[in-house]
Amino acid sequence: MSKQLYLDFGQKSFGPMKCKSCGMLYTKGELEDEELHKKFHNKLIDGVQFSGWKNERVVGWFDEGRVVMVTPSDSKQHLKKVDEVLGLVHYDLGIEQDVKYGDLSKIFLFISSHKKVIGCVVADHIDKAYRAMTDPSSGLTCCSTEPYTSVKVGIRKLWVSKSCRRKGIATKLLDCVRSNFAFGTVIARNLIAFSDPTVEGREFAKSYTKDQLLIYQ
């Protein structure tokens, strides 16, 4: 009996696919689509490429890199990079429509020694928040009806690239926020509020404040 030769050209690996790591839908086998996926995937996992600015407002130096603070009144070049980072942050956190930052907000970017933005915080100036509590009847998280008026700063967004999580980057970012948000003042950990944190973010916030979780809108 003659032998038959079966050739496998990998047809099963072509067509629409969803990346398990970054969640992006793309078409396997289409070079342009694959290149777009590769660039997006690398940004989400390892951070956004950042070559640096001549006039940086550095507010913290660490072994892993530095933290730069940006305000809405900074140059268009700086805000363009912030918008690029926040576009990725919104995708990763599942935010469809949201105000990026307010006129009084301050943005903190963690720049790694490999010249990538691996962490970001958008901090708001606020004067009230509400204490998060657990409803004993349902076990669900709710907020107190009385405002907590001693709060000084609100964290609208807190993000760290996937490959750099659980390495202390988020803690270092918030430490820089507390030391640099209000001139001449180091804000206490328990006077930080968080806006609609994810489940993972809520657990981190509780651990960081070591006292209470404050929520603001």
pLDDT in tens, 169-217: 999 999 999 999 998 999 999 999 999 888 888 899 999 998 789 999 8
34 and 53 co-located in one domain: no
In a domain, 144, yes or no: yes
> What phi, psi does 85 have (nearest 5°)?
-65, -45
| pLDDT in the model for residue 208 | 95
86 and 30 co-located in one domain: no
Note the helical H segments in 47-196: 76-93, 169-180
Cβ proximity of 126 and 151 under 8 Å: yes
Place of tokens 């509780």: 206
| pLDDT in the model for residue 1 | 45
Q: Residue 32's domain spans which residues?
A: 17-46
Name every residue whose Cβ is closer than 8 Å to that of residue 66 and which is 6 or more positions away in sequence: 58, 60, 110, 111
Q: Domain count of the chain?
A: 2
Name the residue among 63, 44, 81 with its Cα closest to residue 161.
Answer: 44
53 and 67 co-located in one domain: yes
Beta strands in the chain (DSSP E): 15-18, 25-28, 48-49, 58-62, 65-70, 106-112, 116-125, 130-134, 141-143, 153-160, 192-194, 214-215
| pLDDT in the model for residue 119 | 95
In a domain, 10, yes or no: no
Please list the rounded mean pLDDT of every run of 10 residues in the chain (217 residues). Answer: 46 63 61 60 73 94 97 95 91 77 95 94 95 77 85 94 91 98 93 88 90 86
89 and 162 co-located in one domain: yes
Distance of CA 36 to the CA centre of its chain: 21
Name the residue among 89, 46, 50 with its Cα closest to residue 67.
Answer: 50
The SS3 call for residue 60 is strand
Cα gap 34→199, rounded to integer Å = 32
| pLDDT in the model for residue 176 | 98
91 and 53 co-located in one domain: yes
Name the residue among 124, 183, 196, 189 with its Cα closest to residue 153.
Answer: 124
